[in-house]
Amino acid sequence: MINLLCCLLSLVAVASGLLWMVPAKKRKPQACQYFGRITFLTVQSNILLTLYHALRHVRPESYIAVHAYPYAFAAGVGLTINYYGLDHFLPEKIAEDKRWIEKGYTMIPLANHLEHGLALPTALLDAFYGQHAGQCSMRDVLVFVGGYTTFYNLFQLVNKRLTGAWLYPVFYEAETAVGPRWAFWAVAMPVSLFYCGLGALALVAAR
């Protein structure tokens, strides 16, 4: 039942974004012109988490259901911490949401919390009650967490080449701070290490 509950919570996060958030091509028309909503790490994470928990429910013995646990923990915890720590309370974010609310997207405040806030409690439910103890190792952290962060970082580079725009303002801030040549690495490396650290923490949190 825990796996089904986690799947439903992740599905609520996906649905809230689809139903109530501003369409990506309206919100970020240049950066999202090719890949739409899946350009965002939040959207990719919630979709992958929904699929992971669904697999845990229907095929709990499958390799991915067992060994992708460090990724699921890192993605869930990281999503909530990064959003509330780096984005939600920024004046620019508050002002942008207000502009869209005035244009008719009145459910944005609720959608923000559902799309980003459910990930952490879902990850903790899975860690404490999902019976992962002893099933995963640091190899799984490197393969699944390291593999995905590498993919998403490369995805951001490709999207920048295609559109000429970074999706996240932090890359522009990094360009100002360290220059265009090193901006990507200045952002990508700490974020990747943070997620891998969360993946390692998943091994300790597993019950």
Q: What is the mean pLDDT of residues 92-112?
A: 95
pLDDT, residue 27, reads 94
Q: Where are the domains of the chain?
A: 2-205
pLDDT, residue 21, reads 97
Angle CA 185–74–197, to nearest 5:
60
pLDDT, residue 90, reads 84
Of 39, 2, 27, the C-alpha closest to 152 is 39
Q: How confident is the model at residue 87 (pLDDT cuts 50, 70, 90)?
A: confident
Q: What is the mean pLDDT of residues 66-95?
A: 94
Q: How confident is the model at residue 110 (pLDDT cuts 50, 70, 90)?
A: very high
Q: Where are the alpha helices (DSSP H) in 39-164?
A: 41-58, 63-67, 69-86, 91-102, 108-117, 119-129, 138-140, 147-163
Per residue in 156-179, pLDDT (tens digit) is 999 999 999 999 988 998 899 999
Pair 135, 66: CB distance under 8 Å: yes
Per residue in 169-207, pLDDT (tens digit) is 889 988 999 998 899 999 999 999 999 999 999 999 987
| Angle (deg, nearest 10), helices 180-205 and 169-178 | 120
pLDDT, residue 201, reads 97
